[in-house]
């Protein structure tokens, strides 16, 4: 779904920090193969199992918000992988991480287009999701 939106810019996967993180997660050989494929074809044929997560985010920059006692992201978010699909696009959005005595809270808002958005809330072992497009949520959560 994010891959089919030409207005979304690709994120820069040639940064040393991204390359190092990828190498640490999946090993040097797999990282080089993935980076070569995405550089040549814009996508990877197969995502290594170590990266097959519901959401893999990149290029997050946080600041501490004293009023909310939380870390909130600044700027666009790199959306790396959704499940087994390589996305590699920058999207508008926010990520918020809060530490609470009752348990940590993670809020993620991703906006592909002004009328196409996704919101995720994770706390106490429960993931909640809502979207402007109900069909997309069911596909995303598979």
Domain ranges of the chain: 16-140
Choice between 74 and 25, residue whose per-residue pLDDT is larger: 74
Identify which of 43, 94, 93 has the alpha carbon closest to the alpha carbon of residue 68. Answer: 94
Quick one: tokens of 98?
A: 């809060």
- Rounded Cα–Cα distance for residues 55 and 87 (Å): 10
How confident is the model over 57-78, as pLDDT tens digits? Answer: 888 999 999 999 999 999 999 9
Neighbouring-strand partners of residue 85? 82
- Rounded Cα–Cα distance for residues 94 and 108 (Å): 6
C-alpha dist (Å) from residue 96 to 29, 106, 111? 33, 6, 15
Q: Name the band, by pLDDT with cuts 50, 70 and 90, for residue 33.
A: confident
């Amino acid at each position: 779904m994010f891959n089919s939106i030409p207005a979304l810019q690709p994120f820069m996967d040639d940064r040393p920090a991204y390359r190092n993180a990828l190498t640490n997660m999946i090993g040097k050989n797999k990282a080089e193969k993935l980076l070569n494929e995405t550089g040549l074809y814009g996508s990877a044929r197969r995502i290594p199992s170590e990266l097959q997560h519901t959401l893999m985010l990149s290029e997050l920059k946080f600041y501490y918000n004293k009023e909310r006692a939380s870390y909130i992201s600044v700027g666009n978010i790199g959306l790396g992988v959704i499940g087994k699909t390589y996305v590699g696009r920058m999207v508008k959005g926010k990520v918020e991480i809060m530490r609470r005595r009752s348990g940590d809270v993670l809020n993620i808002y991703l906006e592909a287009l002004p009328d196409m958005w996704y919101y995720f809330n994770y706390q106490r072992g429960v993931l909640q999701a809502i979207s402007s497009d109900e069909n997309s949520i069911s596909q995303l959560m598979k």
